[in-house]
Amino acid sequence: MNALSHRVETLLGTAVVATAPVAGGDICTATRVRLSDGRTALVKTRPGAPAGFFPTEAEGLRWLAQTGGVPVPEVLAAEPDCLILTWVETGRPSPEAAEAFGRGLARTHAAGAPCFGTASGNDGWIGLLPLPNRSAPGWPEFYATRRVLPYLKLARDRGRIDPADARSVETVVRRINDLAGPAEPPARLHGDLWSGNLLWGVDGAVHLVDPAAHGGHRETDLAMLALFGCPQLPRVLETYHESTPLAYGWEDRVPLHHLYPLLVHACLFGGGYGARAGDAARSLL
Pairwise CA distance, residues 279 & 272, whole Å: 11
Angle at 187 between CA 186 and CA 192, to 5 degrees: 120
Choosing from 165, 192, 210, 221, the catalytic residue is 192
Rounded Cα distance between 222 and 229, Å, is 11
Q: Which residues contact 266 (CB under 8 A, 6 or more apart)?
A: 151, 155, 160, 161, 273, 274, 277
The C-alpha atoms of residue 233 and residue 99 are separated, in whole angstroms, by 9
Within a 13 Å sphere around the CA of 60, how many CA atoms are in the beta-carbon half? 29
Q: Rounded CA gap, 7 and 11, in Å?
A: 6
CA 156, distance to chain mean position in Å, is 24
Is 192 one of the annotated active-site residues of the chain? Answer: yes
Residues involved in catalysis = 192
